[in-house]
Amino acid sequence: MAVQARHRAPARRLGRWLVPCALTALLWLADDTPFGAEGFALFAALGASVSVCYPLLALMAAEAPGAVVPWQWRAWYRRGRPRPSISARLRRIVYAADRHRCCYCNSSVTPQLDHVRPWSLGGRSSVFNLMTLCGPCNRVKSNYWAFRGGRHAYNPFAGHGNIAEAAKILAFERRHRWSLLRFARAALAL
């Protein structure tokens, strides 16, 4: 059974790219206006842009359901509950998005997943909120979070507390999670 599943994965990936192109071709064939070569070029460009953006749109759609619940409600609900494990598929996607390296110091030693907004403060386990950090950077950042208005929450691991470095790591993670290349690598890992 595992052998069959391995052979089906490339076909699924190919289908993700061919569906938007096929739909665009059908739109062009169904177009009864006399656009000629300009119309074909327009629809070909539309098909190419949609097929490139399709995995990114699928990634954003996968992130959407949890976004409607405010983080304060998630934090209240999670109080005192253990964090569930992160799925192997999500781990693989996040590691691929960050090229199996720490996004802060670029080290490939002991990569770990880190929640940008800590899970204990209502952060979700999603591609947008997870980053790859090396062990030392992850222990320094721990569950640091800076709220609006200058207030912050920080509960570091024993012997690893450095609030200035944790603030730098969080600032870098906040910028890095908007990287289009990171989203493209994550979409290709789907």
100 near 109, Cβ under 8 Å? no
Q: Does one domain contain both 166 and 120?
A: yes
Q: Does one domain contain both 85 and 179?
A: yes
Q: Does one domain contain both 49 and 100?
A: no
* Enclosing domain of residue 23: 2-63
117 near 129, Cβ under 8 Å? yes
Q: Does one domain contain both 89 and 128?
A: yes
60 near 186, Cβ under 8 Å? no
Q: Does one domain contain both 123 and 166?
A: yes
Q: Does one domain contain both 18 and 83?
A: no
Q: Does one domain contain both 76 and 53?
A: no
- Predicted confidence pLDDT, tens digits, the chain (190 residues): 445 544 555 555 555 556 666 655 555 455 444 455 555 566 566 666 666 566 666 666 555 556 667 778 888 888 888 888 888 988 999 999 999 999 999 998 889 999 999 988 888 888 889 999 999 999 999 889 999 888 888 988 888 888 999 999 999 999 998 888 888 888 888 7
Model pLDDT, residue 189: 83
* Integer angstrom CA distances of residue 59 from 29, 67, 159, 174, 190: 29, 13, 38, 18, 8
Q: List all residues 6 or more positions away from 12 whose beta carbon is below 8 Å from its beta carbon.
A: none
Model pLDDT, residue 33: 47
Q: Does one domain contain both 98 and 169?
A: yes
Q: Does one domain contain both 77 and 32?
A: no
pTM: 0.65
- Total structural domains in the chain? 2
Q: Which residue blocks in the chain are alpha helix, DSSP H?
A: 2-30, 36-63, 71-78, 88-97, 135-141, 163-176, 180-189
Query: How many other C-beta atoms lie within 10 A of the C-beta of residue 108?
Result: 11
Bridge partners of 130?
115
Rounded CA-CA distance 59/126 in Å is 10
Q: Does one domain contain both 93 and 183?
A: yes
Which of 63, 81, 115 terminates a domain? The answer is 63
Rounded CA-CA distance 50/55 in Å is 9
Angle at 44 between CA 41 and CA 46, to 5 degrees: 110
Which of 63, 84, 104 terminates a domain? The answer is 63
Q: Does one domain contain both 164 and 94?
A: yes
Which of 63, 96, 113 terminates a domain? The answer is 63
* Integer angstrom CA distances of residue 90 from 43, 46, 147: 34, 30, 27
Q: Does one domain contain both 167 and 84?
A: yes
